[in-house]
Amino acid sequence: MGLGATVGADLLAVPFPKMVFDLARAIANGQTALDRASISTLRVLARTEFDYIPEITEVIAAGPVDTINGVPVTGVDVTTRPGRTLPLSLLQAGLTPSFYQFTESVIEVKMSISSKVSTQSEFEFGASVEANAGFLFASATVSSHVDYRTSNTYSYSAEGSSLLRTTLKPVPPPARMMPRFITVNTLVSPPQVTFSE
């Protein structure tokens, strides 16, 4: 198998579909947990009541007249009378739970693959010639040798890192989760009906 095929196989080995699935599942679980927490907050806000006093009437009236050193000093009496209390929940008063939503998710996979092939060859050639000559004969010997050595070195390394990043942002509460307040004011004629959320 060539090096190109190995690199390709390594790239294919990145479990990208699994990573996407795991991230999506984690986001879904996280979103559910966040929504549940927000609904719990909504419940607490709805059942925490307090007595709201919309109006306090202060009546300023002339008080008893005192005479100090022969000078009459007019006193003032201030009578404070709170109006009718109105039981309100914190939700009605104006506190709402925060809702969060995952708005953006990024999976970043980085791979660094390096391969190196080095080939080393050695070639050696040698020859020796030997000649003898006598009165009636002559001879010659030729010998030679060839050495050839080759070695291939392969090195291959693959490194990978992955980054999962997701953004969480506060969003307005879902319309169906928040109650709509219908106020009927019977103090005016005809009664006035107002809707608010």
CA distance 19 to 22: 5
CB 139 within 8 A of CB 132: yes
Residue 158 contacts other proteins per CB under 8 A: no
Reduce the DSSP state of residue 117 to 3 states and report it. strand
| Cα-only R_g, the chain | 47
CB 117 within 8 A of CB 153: yes
Closest to other proteins by CB, 77 or 197: 197
Out of 2, 4, 70, 94, the only residue in the binding site for other proteins (CB under 8 A) is 94
Q: Distances from the Cα of 142 to the Cαs of 15, 75, 126, 130, 138, in angstroms?
A: 66, 146, 11, 6, 13
Cβ at position 98, least distance to other proteins in Å: 4
- Site residue total, other proteins (CB under 8 A): 24
Name residue 82's amino acid.
Answer: P
95-114: which residues touch other proteins (CB under 8 A)? 95-98
Residue 32 contacts other proteins per CB under 8 A: no
39-68: which residues touch other proteins (CB under 8 A)? 40-41, 44-45, 48-50, 52
Out of 23, 90, 111, 164, the only residue in the binding site for other proteins (CB under 8 A) is 90
Chain positions contacting other proteins, by CB under 8 A: 37-38, 40-41, 44-45, 48-50, 52, 88, 90-98, 170, 181, 196-197
